[in-house]
Amino acid sequence: MAVGLLGYFIGEIPLINMKYYNVGIRACSICPGEASTPLLDQRPVPLSQEEKDLMLQVEDISETVVFVAQMEKHVCVNQITISPTHNRLYL
């Protein structure tokens, strides 16, 4: 079962894994880059659909969550950083 842990710092994830590994609890910090979500529509300067299409999509992040949740019990993924290949922060 996957449960979200909101409010934890990335540095605490390995501590959670060390403390609770013996009861089958694993934690992973998934750090997405710029993603096309409805929140973007609230920006003062709207983005074009072409710009949104270059960003991560909700499905990309969802597939990552499923990937982590379905790992074998002997595998622990502490952190994943996922970003679009067209990264506006680098351009």
pLDDT value at residue 1 = 42
Query: Do residues 69 and 2 make contact, with C-beta atoms less than 8 angstroms apart?
Result: yes
Q: Rounded CA gap, 32 and 14, in Å?
A: 19
Indicate the DSSP class of residue 32. Answer: E
pLDDT value at residue 89 = 72
pLDDT value at residue 66 = 96
Q: Rounded CA gap, 6 and 30, in Å?
A: 11
Residue 29's DSSP bridge partners are 79
Per-residue pLDDT of the chain (91 residues; tens, 9 = 90+): 445 555 567 778 889 999 999 999 999 999 999 999 999 889 999 899 999 999 999 999 999 999 999 999 999 999 999 999 987 777 6
Residue 81's DSSP bridge partners are 31
Could you give the 3-state DSSP secondary structure of residue 46?
A: coil
